[in-house]
Structure 1
Amino acid sequence: MEISLQFQVNLLFALFSTIIITISVAIILVTGKKKQQRMPPEPASTRLGIHRALVVSNWEVAKECFTTNDKVFLTRSKSLAVKHMGYDRNMLGFAPYGLYWRSARRLVTVELLSSRRLELLKHVPDIEIDSFIKDLYEQSVRNRGVAVVDDCWKKILCDGKHRKNKADSKGVGFCTRKLGERASRNEADDTIKATCLIIVLGGIETNVVTLTWAVSLLLNNLHVLKKAQDELDINETMRLYPAAPLSVPREAIEDCTVAGFHVQAGTRLLVNLWKLQRDPGIWSKPLEFLPERFLSDHANIDVRGQNFELIPFGCGRRICPGITFMLRFQHLALARLLHGLKWGTVSDNAVNMSESPGISVPKATPLEVTLTPKLPSMLYR
């Protein structure tokens, strides 16, 4: 009798435990399902190797990424290439968000690329552009009026006679000395080299690519070339051929929502500038070179990161700090070249506009042009 009673007690306890466990599991499943239903859907899966990636080709989504979620996408994605070739991620443009990045950006923005500093150093690009035009003139004389522009662009940006005069506080030597002062206090040698490297690389490649495409487009549109000699606007070149067709990847530091989709932390963000800036929903005749569009329908759009339809320099907190310098240099260089020389093509054929693959968008073939001096020859010597 006692055994039978004990058996019944054990059976009831087992049944009761089973019911409790079943109810608990059901509650967990229902609650989890409700949470999953409330979670926004994830975008279509795109991966860069093992990493999730979000590629944006719409200006409205780009605006949401760089305004509402700008803090989320403030850091850079990790890369072995940047680690080994960029002084352990000390290069400003590729450094992760943190104290170092904020300090380095403040240094570059205030001490090297501020309007006051550019005004102080404005004589440097003037002298270098004069030297560049002289080299072009001499090359065209040697080659009977033909010059390969691609071989000359980098000279204007690399030779820099003023960089040798480090003792001149008004010259380029000031920049390296200022970095040295900061280094002696807090910075390591690698930081100095990384900062100089990113400034040189960013200034050379982007300017060379943009100016080469600008001249190529003008030679294929001679009616625009005549207008450009009166009123210059380089925005259309940067719209059609941004120096980098894809933005430098950023990485989400936490979960967020973009365009109604759930984006997980660690997702890499790339903006397809080439597609965004040729969107027919924004630009009429998007594949045609029409600089006058920025004097009429799109007069209120510029490249300084406030209009997300045109962001060749990026936007948000990580916008290119050298934007003012590059715009000044590109306008000055192109204006001096167009006003000082008459440009033409080597043959009657249009300039080949084929693109070459790369981080930037270089021309697939060198730009060959004919140059005719507009001024007395003694002014080019």
Structure 2
Amino acid sequence: MAIITFHTVLIAVLSMKLLLLLFKKLRSAKVKLPPGPYGVPLVGYLPFLGRNIHQTFMELANIYGPIYKLSIGQKLFVLISSPALAKEVVRDQDITFANRNPTIAALAFSFGGKDIAFTPYGPEWCMLRRIFVQEMQSNANLDVFYPLRRDEVKKSVIDVYRSSGTPIDVGLLAFTSVINMITSMFWGGTLEADKGASINAQFRDAVSELLVIWGKPNISDFIPLLARFDIQGVERDMKRSSRWIEQIFDFVIDQRIQTNSLLNGQGAKKNDTNKDFLGFLLEFKDHDTGKSLSRAQMKAFLADIVIGGTGTTSTAFVWTMAELMLHPKVMKKAQDELLEVVGAGNIVEEYHSHKLLYLQAVVKETLRLHPPAPVLLPRCPIQTCTVGGYTIPKGAKVFLNAWAIQRDSQLWENPSKFEPERFLGDAKNLDFSGNEFHYIPFGSGRRICAGLRLGERMLMYTLSTFLHMFHWNVPDDQMPDTEEKFGIVLEKSTPLIAIPMPRLNNLKLYE
């Protein structure tokens, strides 16, 4: 009896093992996850990421290939660094990958993920994007708002002229110029001069603080079990900073409504009082439904412009200036083009930009080497799918490593060198639209950067103005470095310090 029992148990155990092996084989045949490194229990690969995550991701791609997985805390990350696989995500399966997986800080800032960047794909998102991209940022509207941008750039030119011959922080110049343009376009002449200056200063401080907080890695994003404790205080700090910005929005909206009511009572025309983004939002009615925007939606639109415009544009400005200072011949060629197109007796206007082909190439090359968001914002598949023959589980965070793609030696000749000429000739039409998947500094597909039109205008206009108006020298012949600092945007790790000197003989142009 004992022998029969032993044999029975042995057969049962062997049968179970065979069934488990068969089940595992069947499962592996259906679910083939990408390769990737092992981590450590609980935290996965988190301890090995290093400071500049985008560079670590590129190093891992050299080991595991153009698609691989990482377990970071309780999250599954999938990293993609080839144009063909990027195309599968943003073109072939764009709807599947049209959602985001926002961080805790992003949710706190975006009214619970209700803005364009983080609203789930669907009818509401389509409506918001249409309003933001096709109507709010139409060429006609951006042209109407141009005098507001021009006035702020002129003020910055005067400030730099007064600092001629002394070192200035180029990053601070870029940030101040861009945020002043944005606040001017936000609410234009809504506020009286003194009150406007005070509000704008508060807004600059709040945005600066918000960008710093958002750039902090948050352990709660990787290990959701810890989110309730907010160990690093990121959620608390982001909510405080967001409330500060929201209070400014509410104040300005109330002021505009009050002003409009008063002017309408006096018979003033709306077109005379609403030539800014806020006026557009207050007047907007959806063509299909006839509905106006809620206050929360208006604030979400304004908040998106803050991030889409300020961080990316000012960072791209700094990187372009740094590369130009490192390559004096390139800077001279760009400035010579400005003299030819604009003239020594004139200031730059936005309409000059389309004629500045070499400067456009300089900007494109800068954004190839230093894309503002090096791994772009992550996409989150709404269902389990296949990319490159590998299974991507529903809910995974999928990153497109633009930084690695744009430095790939198989795609670019001399990929580490700064060579604007690569964007001239046959490649001059290579732009930021994301249609060529080896060049995607602002993403591609449905989730391409929503503020691209405005950001491109502001970057080209400010850059061409300051290059045309000033010579830029480095103090004590200390050339800038190109060390990077990973965050919400890819910043230069050390401030860019330069000495401006007037470049044009007609000093009245600086008044």
**What TM-score does the superposition give when structure 2 sets the normalisation length?**
0.64
Return 5+ residue gaps in structure 1 as ranges.
Answer: 1-24
Distance in 2, matches of 1:304 and 1:252, equals 22
Quote the residue 2:167 is aligned against: 146
SS in 1 for 2:492: coil
Quote the residue 1:179 is aligned against: 281
Quote the residue 2:468 is aligned against: 339
Please report the RMSD computed on the Cα atoms of aligned residues, expressed in angstroms: 2.8
- Preserved CA contact (<8 Å) 1:77 1:96: no
1:282 counterpart letter in structure 2: L
Quote the residue 2:199 is aligned against: none
- Preserved CA contact (<8 Å) 2:163 2:500: no
SS in 1 for 2:142: helix
* Residue 70 of structure 1: how far off its partner (Å): 0.8
- Preserved CA contact (<8 Å) 1:120 1:170: no
Q: Which residue of the other structure, out of 229, 232, 236, is the alignment partner of 2:359? A: 232
Quote the residue 1:5 is aligned against: none
* Residue 51 of structure 1: how far off its partner (Å): 2.2
Q: Which moved more, 1:318-327 or 1:301-310?
A: 318-327
Distance in 2, matches of 1:306 and 1:277, equals 14
1:218-229 to 2 correspondences below 5 Å:
218-229=324-335
Distance in 2, matches of 1:257 and 1:98, equals 22
* Residue 94 of structure 1: how far off its partner (Å): 1.9
* Residue 339 of structure 1: how far off its partner (Å): 1.4
Q: Which moved more, 1:349-358 or 1:32-41?
A: 32-41
* Residue 153 of structure 1: how far off its partner (Å): 1.5
1:1-381 to 2 correspondences below 5 Å:
36=27, 38-39=29-30, 41-44=32-35, 45-140=69-164, 144-160=165-181, 161=184, 163-166=187-190, 169=271, 173-182=275-284, 185=291, 187-229=293-335, 230=337, 231-233=358-360, 234-296=363-425, 298-375=427-504, 376-381=506-511
- CA gap of 1:182–1:126, structure 2 versus 1, over 3 A, is closer
Q: Residues 185-230 of structure 1: CA distance to partner in whole angstroms, max 9, x if unpaired?
A: 4544322212111112210110100000000000000011112221
Q: Which has the larger radius of gyration?
A: 1
SS in 2 for 1:270: strand
Quote the residue 2:215 is aligned against: none
Distance in 1, matches of 2:441 and 2:110, equals 23
- Preserved CA contact (<8 Å) 2:75 2:396: yes
- Preserved CA contact (<8 Å) 1:306 1:315: yes
- CA gap of 1:296–1:347, structure 2 versus 1, over 3 A, is farther
- CA gap of 1:37–1:157, structure 2 versus 1, over 3 A, is closer
- CA gap of 1:358–1:247, structure 2 versus 1, over 3 A, is same
Distance in 2, matches of 1:339 and 1:106, equals 36
SS in 2 for 1:94: coil
- CA gap of 1:257–1:310, structure 2 versus 1, over 3 A, is same
Distance in 2, matches of 1:280 and 1:215, equals 25
**What TM-score does the superposition give when structure 1 sets the normalisation length?**
0.85
- CA gap of 1:304–1:61, structure 2 versus 1, over 3 A, is same
2:391 counterpart letter in structure 1: H
SS in 2 for 1:133: helix
Equivalenced residues, count = 356
- Preserved CA contact (<8 Å) 1:40 1:257: no
Distance in 1, matches of 2:92 and 2:110, equals 30
Distance in 2, matches of 1:201 and 1:78, equals 14
1:198 counterpart letter in structure 2: D
Distance in 2, matches of 1:325 and 1:114, equals 9
SS in 1 for 2:117: helix
* Residue 134 of structure 1: how far off its partner (Å): 1.3
- Preserved CA contact (<8 Å) 2:469 2:502: yes
- Preserved CA contact (<8 Å) 1:121 1:172: no
Distance in 1, matches of 2:276 and 2:311, equals 23
SS in 2 for 1:55: strand
- Preserved CA contact (<8 Å) 2:107 2:113: yes
